[in-house]
Amino acid sequence: MGGKGMNILAKKGLLKQSCNLEFCEHYMFGKQKKVSFGSGVYKTKAPLGYLHSDLWGPSPVTSRGGKRYMLTIIDDYSHKVWSFFLKSKDEVFHTFKEWKV
């Protein structure tokens, strides 16, 4: 909501106006705009030239196979995604080595 609408609500007694809207911290956060991301620094020219990986977990619910973590590997060039479900964090390096082979 803009400052004009907030002032109208404050005059009707529907909003506690505890600060000047020009300097109100909550108002300023609400008026912020999302900054777009710039283009990437790395440009890949072939598959598997640049990879992204992420480890998610632990899951609050264990899978039927006893897995609580998920490792994802994404190829920046092809955008192909590989997902691996793991029982513990210490399986990440071994899983990555197997995937790389």
CA 15, 19, 25, 29 torsion-angle sign: positive
Taking only the tens place, the pLDDT of each residue in 63-80 is 999 999 999 999 999 999
* 52 in Cβ contact with 76 (< 8 Å): yes
Taking only the tens place, the pLDDT of each residue in 22-46 is 556 666 666 666 677 677 677 788 9
* 77 in Cβ contact with 45 (< 8 Å): yes
Mean pLDDT, rounded, of the chain: 83
Angle at 10 between CA 14 and CA 29, to 5 degrees: 100
Whether a cis peptide bond, with omega within 30° of 0, leads into 58 is yes
pTM of the model: 0.59
